[in-house]
């Protein structure tokens, strides 16, 4: 089955700096890669996603890149703010086949943004 690795497990940055979280996946059948933000005691919230036919996607201060050949994808947050502090999870999924819609998650990255 799919295996998703996520690094780093913790990340501390100064407000205004950039943050980068990296994930790798193992199954070439995966073609959908969402990122979730989970604040303490709250539900995971989808913040951005990318599909395998696209190499990069941006939404304001957040961007995601995908390298299908190397099987890795990354989350980039620019101009970080204290409210960006949370646990971020990457995930991989397939839109077809026997594992349709099943999300395989990384172990998470605790991002702390210091004011």
Stretch 4-23 residues interacting with another protein (CB under 8 A): 4, 6
Q: Which of 34, 37, 50, 80 binds another protein (CB under 8 A)?
A: 34
What six digits make up the tokens of 88?
A: 């971020």
Number of residues that bind another protein (CB under 8 A): 26
* Cross-strand partners of 57: 64
Q: Which stretch binds another protein (CB under 8 A): 10-18, 55-63, 65-73, 85-93?
A: 85-93
Longest dimension (CA), the chain: 46
Q: Is 95 in the site for another protein (CB under 8 A)?
A: yes
- Token digits of residue 82: 């204290």
Specify the pairing of strand 32-38 against strand 4-7: unpaired
Distance CA 29, CA 23 (A): 16
Counting contacts by CB under 8 A, is residue 44 touching another protein?
yes
Binding site for another protein (CB under 8 A): 4, 6, 32, 34, 36, 42-46, 49, 89, 91, 93, 95, 98-108
């Amino acid at each position: 089955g799919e295996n998703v690795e996520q690094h780093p497990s913790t990340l501390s940055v100064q407000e205004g700096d950039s943050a980068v979280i990296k994930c790798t996946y193992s199954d070439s059948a995966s073609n959908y890669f969402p990122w979730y933000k989970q604040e303490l005691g709250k539900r995971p919230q989808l913040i951005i996603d990318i599909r395998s036919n696209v190499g990069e996607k941006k939404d304001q201060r957040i961007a995601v890149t995908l390298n299908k050949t190397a099987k890795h994808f990354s989350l980039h947050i620019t101009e970080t703010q204290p409210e960006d502090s949370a646990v971020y999870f990457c995930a991989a999924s397939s839109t077809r086949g026997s594992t349709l819609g099943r999300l395989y998650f990384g172990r998470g990255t605790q991002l702390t943004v210091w004011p």
